[in-house]
Amino acid sequence: MIETAFTPYASLGGGILIGLASVALMAVAGRIMGATGILAGLFQPSSFSDWSWRAVVVAGMIAGPLVVMLFTGEMPAVQVPVSTTMLIIGGFIVGVGVTFGGGCTSGHGVCGMARISPRSIVATITFMIATIITVYVVRHIFGV
C-alpha cells in the first residue's frame, strides 16, 4: 500500500506560494490562476501579450523545483508509485473532468472559492468527493 508522508511545513509553504501567485496574477494581469486554462491558452493564444503572460506563469511552475534546489541543495524527490499506463488513464480522466467542470482545482478551488463563486464551490466539493472515492478504490480495492 502507498504511504503518504506528512509534510506540514512544505505543504503550508506550497499553499502560501500558490495563494500569493494567484493574488499576484489577479492584481497584475486581472486573470484567474487556472493552470489548465493557462496551459491551454499557450497553444491557442489570442495575442502575443496573452501568450507571454501564460508563458511566464508556466515557466515559473517549471522553475519551482530549481528554486527548491537552490535553497536545499537537492532536487525535490518525486515518487510515482503507479505504472505509465495508470498515469495516462489518470491524465485522460482529469482532462475529461476539467473539460466538463469548466476548470481545474486551481481555478475553482483557489480562485473561485476565494471569490465565493457558487459554481466553484460545487465544483470543488465534486473534486473532493471524487478524490476520496478514487483513493479509497485504488488503495482498498486494488491494493495499490
Q: Let me know if residue 67 belongs to a domain.
A: yes
Cell of 3: 504511504
**In this structure, is residue 48 part of a structural domain?**
yes
Cα separation, 74 vs 65, whole angstroms: 9
Q: Is residue 102, in this structure, part of any structural domain at all?
A: yes
**Residue 89 belongs to some domain of the structure:** yes
Q: Residue 98 domain-assigned? A: yes
Give a yes or no: residue 1 inside a domain. Answer: no
Q: From the CA atom positions of the chain, what is the Rg in Å?
A: 17
Output the pLDDT for position 32: 87
Number of domains in the chain: 1
Domain encompassing residue 77: 8-141
Rounded Cα distance between 2 and 143, Å, is 9
> Are residues 108 and 124 in contact, defined by beta-carbon separation less than 8 angstroms?
yes
Q: What is the mean pLDDT of each run of 10 residues along the chain (144 residues)?
A: 76 89 89 87 87 91 89 84 86 86 85 90 91 86 73
- Flag whether 3 is in a domain: no
